[in-house]
Amino acid sequence: MELFKTEFAGKVAVITGAASGMGLLATRELAACGAKVVMCDVNEGALAREAAAIAEAQEVRESAGAAAPCPCDVRHWEDAQKAAAIALERFGRLDFLFSFAGGNEARVCNSHVPFHEQPREVIDWGLDVNLRGPIYMARACLPAMVAQKGGVVCLLGSVTGFEGDGSGAMYGTAKSGLFNFTKALAKDGAPHGIRAFCVSPGPVLTRPGMAGMKTLLGRAADPSEVVDFILYLASSKGAFVTGSNHLIDGGRLCLSC
Ligand SMILES: NC(=O)c1ccc[n+]([C@@H]2O[C@H](COP(=O)([O-])OP(=O)(O)OC[C@H]3O[C@@H](n4cnc5c(N)ncnc54)[C@H](O)[C@@H]3O)[C@@H](O)[C@H]2O)c1
């Protein structure tokens, strides 16, 4: 945490999925380190509530951190552009994009049927939120990073991107698409001092249901284990990391080898 405090003070981050789970935790940690965060989420009520709580937190006030709520649906090009514009207009720069917004369409749309029975709108949700959204967000944020000659993009994959899922088929498909998009971003960004990496968790306890998923370690991750790993990679300690996908899955993938 001490490393992060000196690293992130005064930096500006756009974070999607910032109203809950790991996106919210990353927002809290960065704001407590003195970073300015544009909190993007489609859940406006939770966004307003969490942004207000962060602004009032003593450690955030002491560090001069900030959290600006930005109602945003990552599926919409204009919303992605708006998020980047808020970072520049309100905070004057854009150093980090953390793309946490995502989810398994079978779970989120409560449609637990095999892929061959999934309605079109469920398929569209899975692809659009998990793949099109991170692409739109990166496209919106990169010009500011290019102009600044530096920046970091973090995409959220999943162990499901390796395993596949017969019901939430688009979730795994989109996450594996992000593995390739990470390489594209790394190639596009390297001449401009921009790094891109993907972090692919196994089960994380952002909801109780994840506790039942098998891992070699016999447990799911605490959200802080994944967020701390991401912040380490985003910091100068991770300066040689780009174009790569990093599993943090408690050995879950080993179980299928
Ligand atoms: N929790 C896990 O076990 C786990 C495992 C592997 C990968 N992941 C990935 O990590 C990321 C974060 O997971 P989490 O469990 O912390 O998430 P979460 O479910 O707690 O939060 C996701 C957030 O994304 C927001 N969101 C949904 N659709 C959106 C849209 N169209 N535009 C903007 N925001 C939208 C939701 O409102 C919510 O606040 C996701 O991409 C997920 O796929 C999670």
- Residue 195's DSSP bridge partners are 152
Nearest atom in ligand 1 to 23's CA = 16
Provide the pLDDT for residue 1.
64
The pairing of beta strand 12-16 with beta strand 244-248: unpaired
Provide the pLDDT for residue 184.
98
Are 37 and 31 a contacting pair, CB within 8 Å? yes
Q: Whose CA is nearest to atom 37 of ligand 1?
A: 43
Stated pTM of the model: 0.98
Residue type, 182: T
Task: Specify the fold of 2-256.
Answer: Rossmann fold (3.40.50)
Nearest atom in ligand 1 to 74's CA = 32
| Grouped pLDDT means (10 residues each) for the chain, 257 residues | 84 98 98 97 98 96 96 98 98 98 98 98 98 99 98 98 97 98 98 99 96 96 98 97 98 92
Helices 169-189 + 120-127 axis angle, to 10: 30
- How far is residue 149's CA from residue 95's CA, in Å, rounded to a whole number? 10
Domain boundaries, the chain: 2-256
Provide the pLDDT for residue 257.
75
Q: Which of 38, 130, 206 to mutate to test the pocket of ligand 1 (most atoms within 8 A of CB)?
A: 206
Distance in Å, CA 29 to ligand 1 centroid: 17
Provide the pLDDT for residue 5.
81
How is residue 61 written in tokens?
Answer: 């006030």
